[in-house]
Homo-oligomer: A and B are copies of this chain.
Amino acid sequence: MNAEIIAVGTEILLGQISNTNAAYLSEQLAALGINVYWQTVVGDNRQRLSQAVQTAEGRSDLVITIGGLGPTDDDLTKEVVADYLKVDLVPNEMAAEKIAAYQKRTGKMLTTNNAKQALMLKGARPLANLNGYAVGDFYANPDGADFVLLPGPPREFKKMVDSALIPILQEQSVNPQLLSSKVMRFFGIGESQLVADLADLIAQQTNPTIAPYAKPAEVTLRITASGSSIREANQLIDEIVSQILARDGDYFYGYGDDNSLAAVVVKDLVDQHLTITAAESLTAGEFQSTLGDVPGVSAVFPGGFVTYANSAKERLLSIPPEIVDQYGVVSETVAIWMAKMAKEKMGTDVAVSFTGVAGPDELEGHSAGTVWIGMAYQNREPQAFLYQFNNGRQQIRDRSVLTGLDLIRREIKKA
């Protein structure tokens, strides 16, 4: 099945927002085995929207519009599609009741415009809007491409895709196979290297499929399989996952779309009853802030130190100024001192430290991107590791933080 996505909204054509909805929907459709050959963006303009609908209907099996279902005069999608398909618009009872209830609760008048949000293509299946008032449509077209109408606000759009559209597409599938997918996350290996390592698996992929995706500083693989049951699909996934882990398991750190290195490290620390602190120079609190993103981190992270200037290394961590003078602030010795003293002062099991050159200027003769990461872990001998990162100040700091997290993850695994 070939689908085409039409995003409707002048704000996209003005560059005020990126078309992230199309990206999300495309990813979901790909996972369902539906090919998306075209994405189009058109403004809130009746004539051009008509033209886009007609073009799409002529070359696709499924046309999905995003946006233009709201209450204002600019919101034209339903009218344009109804005109094109020559079907009427009729009120959807549940959506109309929801709007009426809102009116009652807030005391606002139910204007014609608001009522418009409850209108649907006659004969379409409603797609409930759990985060808003505009109802969506799934219109099985006896004479041509099927039409799906979705709202534009991302919260409404995403919820409707997940809870209403995907189940219908699965059910409508010509070959009613059930789909399952699993995301594998890797750190410390580039996309091209990972793809090269798995070249034969990727080349022969049919079921499961393997989709690599490079994010800043990490790579994910989405493994998607179909089967007559979820269990059967999952077995296919597990087999390929084992093969991938046998090759690149050293870089694999966890599963799941919403996972992160920080979440994995916090979970590992909680599981092992290990507390952690940090002393940060070039990262200036970013490592600790990244830990702070993870709900539940308070069980293992009491706090720590930002020691940007040398004076702070002395004041907060009691590092003798002679040490900094002798070895330089960007040095193995200072990284080890920072980790050791942070651990001691905070009374934690683990401490990590960051000292280096964020740039843009060099420091003490070291170029931007030179970073030492120190690690003090229970009674093990404190160590520090040297890295050379690049691509500018923020990337150097981000990369330092992720590398620190990965060092901890590996250190915990040694236990």
Q: Contact residues of A with B, CB < 8 Å?
A: 12-20, 22-30, 36-43, 45, 48, 52, 55, 211, 213, 278, 280-289, 291-293, 295, 297-298, 301-309, 311-313, 315-316, 345-347, 358-361, 393-394, 397
CB<8 Å pairs between A and B, sample of 6: A17-B23, A19-B19, A40-B41, A283-B292, A284-B297, A302-B309
Q: Which residues of B contact A286 (CB under 8 A)?
A: 285-286, 289, 292
Q: Determine if A30 and B14 form an interchain contact, defined as CB atoms under 8 angstroms apart.
A: yes
Closest to A282 in B: B292
How many Å lie between the Cα of A315 and that of B348 in the bound state?
Answer: 12
* A37 and B42 contacting across the interface, CB-CB below 8 Å: yes
Establish whether residues A295 and B393, one from each chain, have CB atoms under 8 Å apart when the complex forms.
yes
CA of A213 to CA of B18, assembled, Å: 12
A283 to B303, alpha carbons, bound, how many Å? 11
Q: Are B293 and A306 in contact (CB under 8 A)?
A: no
Tell me the minimal C-beta distance from A190 to chain B in angstroms: 15
Query: A13 CA to B307 CA in the complex, in Å?
Result: 45
A288 engages B284 (CB within 8 Å): yes
**In the complex the two chains form, is A347's CB within 8 Å of B315's CB?**
yes
Once the chains bind, are A30 and B18 in contact (CB under 8 Å)?
no
Q: Is the CB of B30 within 8 A of A38?
A: no
**Chain B residues, Cβ within 8 Å of A20:** 18
| Closest-CB distance, A380 to chain B (whole angstroms) | 23
B292 in contact with A302 (CB, 8 Å): no
CB-based contact B30/A24 at 8 Å? no
The one of B23, B282, B288, B289 that contacts A15, using a Cβ cutoff of 8 Å: B23
B37–A43 touching, CB < 8 Å: yes
Task: Looking at the assembled complex, report how far the CB atom of A8 sits from the nearest CB atom of chain B, in whole angstroms.
Answer: 12
Contact A41 B42 (CB under 8 A): no
Chain B residues within 8 Å of A22, by CB? 15, 18-19, 41
Residue of B nearest to A17 (CB): B23
CB distance from A399 to the nearest CB of B (A): 14
